[in-house]
A = this chain, B = another copy of it.
Amino acid sequence: MAKPNVKEQIVSTSLNLLHSKGFNATSVQDITDAAGVPKGSFYNHFSSKEALGLEVVQRYTDGVGQIAALLKDRSVAPLQRLRQYFDRMIAGNTANDYNHGCMLGNFSTELSNQIPAMRVAMRQAFAGSGALLAAVIAEGQRDGSIASALPAEDLAAFVNDAWQGAVLRAKAEQSREPLDRFVRMVLGRVLA
């Protein structure tokens, strides 16, 4: 059996731990214990918990990016594509019973004001999802399926932010309802 890669073991364990418990509530000891690796090995691979946190955010963002690829599928009508995207994002929240929230939202509130590099990572992630949403919305505006009175970039950024608010509320309520309401309101009102 191949020797497990210690660094990969730490990153994949941390992905779950930092998502579920948050950054400051998770110690390096918690991480190495959960990963089943010696505490001393952590600093062979990461200069600090912050450095690990940034790798974990990159891993998480890559995962969301795979879902966001749905937004580029031009064989599906724009509104339907948005629905499919948010359905998949809701399924991600359902998988942890609405307890974990979005790691990007969690770290935005917990760390923006504490770790400058984390704030940069959040900004980049939000800009990325915002641009994908803006492209779909612009496409819908061109084919007449999405209201065109307001700029696609503005609508997309509002929808992107409102999604974070819905996920935050779903976590507070431990309920799916804020996410379903978000979809109803965005597809039935904001973009209609």
| Interface positions of A (Cβ within 8 A of B) | 20-22, 24-25, 99-101, 105-106, 108-110, 112-114, 119, 122-123, 126, 149-150, 154-155, 157-158, 160-166, 168-169, 171-174, 178, 181-182, 184-185, 188-190
Contact = CB atoms under 8 A, between A and B. Distances in A.
A168 B168 contact: yes
A105 B109 contact: yes
Number of copies: 2
User: Main SS of chain A's interface residues?
Assistant: helix
A20 B113 contact: yes
Given A106-B109, A174-B112, A181 B154 contact: yes
A81 B101 CA distance: 32
